[in-house]
Every structure is written in C-alpha cells, then in structure tokens.
C-alpha cells in the first residue's frame, strides 16, 4: 500500500522531543525527513541510557531520518541548505522566537525561495506575547496554565511536549498541506506548547465558567473530586484505577467490593464514600482485584508496570511492538508506539 505522505520532503531543524517526534510521525507516514544537526550532533545523542554506542532515546525518536550535520552559523550553511529549501514541502524548527531569522532562515526569507513551504515553529509560549522568550520545560507549561493545579504531582508523561507540541504540529502541518493543495501556497504555523494545556483543563474550565468558581486541587470530578474516579491502593502496594463514572459501572463496582448501600449514593458525603472504598480495596491484594475486575465490565483495572503492559496479550495482538529500531552500531530495541496505522509503518533505520 502506498504511504500517504510519499513524496513529501521535511526539513527538521528541531532537537530533543517535540519536533523530532512530530517529524517521526511524518516519516512513518511516508515523508522523507532530513534532520539538520549541529556538527557535534543533537543534544539527545548524549542522553542515557546507552544502547551500545548509541543513545536509546535518540534512536527511538530519530529512526528513519537522514541526518545532515551543518553549522548554521557558517558562511557555507546557506549554500548547502538552499537547494533543500527549494524542494522541501515542510520545515520544522524549535528555536526560540527570532533565532531562525538571525540565521537567515526565517519564514519570510524562505518563503521568497519557496512559497509552497509549510513552515512550522514549535515553542513553549509562541512567537509573540510577554512570555515568548521565556525558558521553560513541560512542567512549567503545565504550571503556568493552571493544569498542574488540578492535581499537583509530578506528571508521569510529558503532556506539553507531546500533546501540546508534537501532535498539534503534525495536525496543523497536514491541514496546511491540504490547504496548499487548494491554493498552491504554504504558510507559517505557530505551535505553542503552553497554549494547548488549556485544552486538557476543558472540564475544569467548563465548571468554572458555569458556576463562577474554578476548582482547586482535588475538587474536579476527573482530578480527585469523585470517589468514582480514583486510584486506590491495594493490600500489596499496587493501585487499582477506578473509572466507574456511569451509574451502571458504579453499581457493579460497589457490589463487587461490597460497599454498604448507605455509601453508594456518594453525593451527600463523597469523602466518606471515598474512605470506605479505600478501606475495602486496601483489604485485598491486586491479584484478587485483577481476577474480579477482569471479568466484570465496570471500568476498573490494576495499574500495570510498564514491563507488564508490554507483555499484555491485547497490545501484542495489535502488533504494536512488531519491529525494532537500530542504533549506530546495529543494536536493536522496540520501536516507540506512535498513532500511525500499522499499514503505514515502515522500519527504516537512522
């Protein structure tokens, strides 16, 4: 089957996670990605853990790309890049606002060379505004947008980098290419990771605007405010993830743990219901609850360790880990899971 982005050429000036993941998704859909790196290489190349001579995180994000080392500050840089710019369809960069302009690679300069170019900039706070030049990482973007306040703990996933940077970049690049099909013109895309964090607070925002009071930590229904949507420790130190929001699921869950009838209508005293559920769940080990809820349809699951999840027959059956990426010395490791249909995946190696 022909891949949907065959024939599309992407110039990738990005480093670390958001941009490289975005261009990886494009590569897996058939695009040719040329990754521009400093002569000493992307900083990610030095990240642990190592896989032989290679950085495992770097391999996972940059397989299937052609790497072109260039000193962008050198006089020769533009002579090397101009032919690539003329033939490229997409450019992805992740510098702070103004850096590409100073290098002679800003949007207006490149648009004069290739008016069909889709030019995507990924930054923390966008190309303008008081925070535009402020440094930040994923945790900061979640903090300043209020998302982190709803459940204040160190997040296990880089929501801003991936769901605020890489994913919106890919979606908007595809939309821009579609628009280019109709108009013949490229465009500038301004992807700000912080902006997207408000999307993830959608329920709390709706609650605040409807009631006149925005929820604080642990008050929102999906962030600790309801006993129906919680993590409960088990007797052996594991966690049971309870997502029994709907009444039919909640009724089955309450019956399975033998919650007293007086506490099942939790609206009057959610804290009392939550405490009672916690006591009942903590009285049994995770193996007991796994056996109970594996056959009971009520949105309750034991929190799996990552190695357990990798061995789950469901994900194995879906072929998520069917091929490997390769390191510089030929070492292999499971490829990262990306939301590209398996028919469009290709195991190209860096």
Cα 121 to chain center, whole Å? Answer: 17
Verify whether residue 161 is a known catalytic residue: yes
Nearest-10 crossing angle of helices 247-257, 270-282: 50
Quick one: CA torsion of 312, 277, 217, 131, rounded to 10 degrees?
0
Verify whether residue 137 is a known catalytic residue: yes
Instruction: Give me 235's structure tokens.
Output: 């007797």
Q: Which of 42, 89, 161, 195 is catalytic?
A: 161
Complete edge-to-edge strand list for the sheet that includes strand 229-233: 229-233, 239-243, 300-302
The whole-angstrom separation of Cα 90 and Cα 36 is: 13
User: Please, which residues bridge with residue 54 across strands?
Assistant: 51
The whole-angstrom separation of Cα 154 and Cα 79 is: 45
Instruction: Give me 138's structure tokens.
Output: 């994923």
Q: Which of 70, 74, 71, 110 is nearest to 92 (CA)?
A: 110
The whole-angstrom separation of Cα 87 and Cα 32 is: 12
Q: Which of 137, 190, 288, 348 is catalytic?
A: 137
The answer to whether 98 and 20 are in contact (CB under 8 A) is no
The catalytic site residues sit at 137, 161
């Amino acid at each position: 089957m022909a891949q949907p982005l065959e024939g599309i050429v992407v110039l990738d000036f990005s480093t670390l996670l958001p941009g490289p993941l975005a261009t990886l998704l494009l590569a897996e859909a058939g695009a040719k990605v040329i990754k521009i790196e400093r002569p000493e290489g992307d900083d990610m190349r030095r990240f642990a853990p190592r896989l032989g001579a290679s950085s495992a995180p770097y391999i996972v994000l940059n397989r299937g790309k052609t790497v072109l080392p260039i000193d962008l500050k050198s006089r020769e840089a533009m002579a090397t890049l101009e032919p690539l710019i003329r033939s490229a369809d997409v450019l992805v960069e992740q510098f702070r606002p103004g850096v590409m302009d100073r290098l002679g690679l800003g949007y207006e300069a490149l648009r004069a060379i290739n008016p069909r170019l889709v030019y995507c900039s990924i930054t923390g706070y966008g190309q303008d505004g008081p925070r535009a030049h402020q440094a930040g990482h994923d945790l900061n973007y979640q903090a300043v947008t209020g998302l982190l306040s709803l459940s204040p703990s160190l997040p296990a996933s880089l929501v801003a980098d991936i769901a605020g940077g890489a994913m919106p970049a890919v979606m908007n690049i595809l939309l821009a290419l579609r628009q280019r099909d109709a108009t013949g013109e490229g465009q500038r895309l301004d992807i700000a990771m912080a902006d997207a964090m408000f999307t993830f607070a959608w329920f709390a925002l709706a609650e605040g605007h409807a009631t006149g009071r925005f929820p604080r930590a642990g008050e929102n229904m999906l962030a600790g405010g309801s006993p129906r949507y919680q993590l409960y420790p088990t007797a052996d130190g594991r966690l049971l993830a309870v997502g029994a929001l709907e009444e039919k699921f909640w009724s089955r869950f309450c019956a399975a743990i033998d919650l007293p009838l007086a506490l099942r209508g939790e609206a009057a005293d959610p804290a009392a219901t939550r405490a009672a559920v916690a006591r009942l769940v903590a009285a049994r080990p995770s193996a007991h609850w796994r056996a109970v809820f594996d056959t009971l349809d009520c949105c309750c699951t034991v929190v799996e360790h990552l190695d357990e999840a990798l061995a789950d027959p469901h994900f194995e059956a879906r072929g998520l880990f069917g091929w490997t990426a390769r390191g510089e010395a030929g070492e292999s490791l499971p490829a990262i899971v990306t939301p590209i249909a398996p028919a469009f995946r290709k195991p190209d190696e860096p």
